[in-house]
Structure 1
C-alpha cells in the first residue's frame, strides 16, 4: 500500500492506492477462492453439510453422475459416461498423428472409379490368360465379381473411411 501526503494551503490530502478490494468486508471470498482441495478438514466438513453461498463447490468441469435430494445423493446409471475404446492389437500406425499433416479430402466416388477399384485388375488378368467365356463372363469368378452392388458399395465406403 502506497500513501502520500499532500499539503495545500494548510489542508492536508492523503492519496492512497490499495491492492485489495473491500467487498464483503474482511471476508472477501471472491478474491481468494477456496476450492474443494484447499482449506482445513473442518472447513471441508462444514462445506459438505452446510455449503457457504459465497464459496461454490468447484467440480473441475466434471459432469455429475446423479442428483441430490436433501442430504442424500442419488446415483443415476445412465449419467455415468461409458468410454468405448477400440482394440488396437496389430494396428500398424503409431498413436500420435502430427498436427502438421495436411488434411486429406476425398471427393465423392464415381461409378467409373468404383469399377476401377474393384473389377478392372481381375478382368485384365482373365483377358490376358484367356479365362473369359463366350458371353464375356469370367470362367473363374473372384469373390469381388460375385458381390452384389450393395456389398461393393459397402466395401468401398469401408476403404474410404480408412483413408480419411
Structure 2
C-alpha cells in the first residue's frame, strides 16, 4: 500500500479545481441536439385539416375525437359565451365597404408600358397660383379691387390670417378633394 502525502498548497489547488469544475457547469450554457422529448410533439396543438391516412379519416368521420374536431377553420369568433348565454359583439363583425361601380369607366388593369411622368418641384409660387391666381385675375378684370390691391369681396381663403392658413395647410387631407384639383 502506497500512502501519498500532499502539502496544503496541493490540497488547496485540488479543492480549487474541483470547486471551479462544479461552478463552471452552472455558469456555462450548453446546447443539446437531442431535446428532452426525443422528437415527440403534441400534435393536438397543430391544425389538422385533411391529414392522416384513410383509416384515420374514416375513424374521424364515424367517431370523431373532440380534441381534433375543427369547427371554425380560421374564422375569427364574433361572439362571447357568458354562462349559458351567447353575446354577439358588433365591433368584431367585419364591415366590408364596397363602392358602387355602376357606370365606372376605368378598367381594372394598368399597363406597365405607361410612359413615365416627371414633375418639377412644387414651389410656393405654384401653390400661390393654384390657390389665388384665378380669383385675382377675375377681380382685376371686373374692377373689384381697392386702390391698395385688396379685393372688395374676399373669399374664405383670402380672409385667413397667416397662422390660420398654416394650420389649415397642415391638416390631414387638406390637399384632397379640393374643388376637383
TM bracket, shorter-chain basis: 0.3 to 0.5
Q: Relative contact order (alpha carbons < 8 A, sep ≥ 6): 1 or 2 greater?
A: 1
The two structures have a TM-score, normalised by structure 1, of 0.45
Greater percentage in helix: 2
Greater percentage in strand: 1
**Between Structure 1 and Structure 2, whose CA radius of gyration is higher?**
2
The two structures have a TM-score, normalised by structure 2, of 0.42
